[in-house]
Amino acid sequence: MKKRFLHLILPGAALVLEMLPYGAVCNFARPAEDGSIGYFRQTYAYFDLTPFGYANFAPLITAILTCAVLAMLAGYCVTGKTGLATAARNTLWVCAAFSFGPLVFGLRYYSVVGFLISAALAAELIVLYAGMKKQKNTGEE
């Protein structure tokens, strides 16, 4: 049972990184005095609605799905029901896919913290797959 609680570490780390104001990126244009256009980069937390308002939907959706995954994995850790782990695994697929969503706009809209969030979610997906496969092979509940 104690090993199941290890499934909460990576999504918990991703959630903490999503709360930091360095993950979601918006690039704004500013006209210079010579008539050229300069861009400045501003970062926000994944839960902030500002990037969502500028059509960067992926960070907020990723943050909400991470909370859902964390709740499902907490339920799995307490009860041991494999149905919750399966639901968390399927939701993690969607969550990991949405975490790479800012790359659609270009590499300038992706940050190092965003990459760490994506890596944590993908790693948890791999760990969950391996744990469920081991549990299925050994016949544990």
Confidence (pLDDT) at 138: 72
CA 127 to chain centre: 15
Contact 50, 23 (CB under 8 A): no
* Domains of the chain from N-terminus onward: 2-138 (1.20.140)
Confidence (pLDDT) at 73: 94
Q: Please identify every stretch of the chain with a pLDDT value under 70, giving residue numbers as ranges.
A: 1-2, 139-141
Q: What is the pTM of this model?
A: 0.89
Contact 124, 10 (CB under 8 A): yes
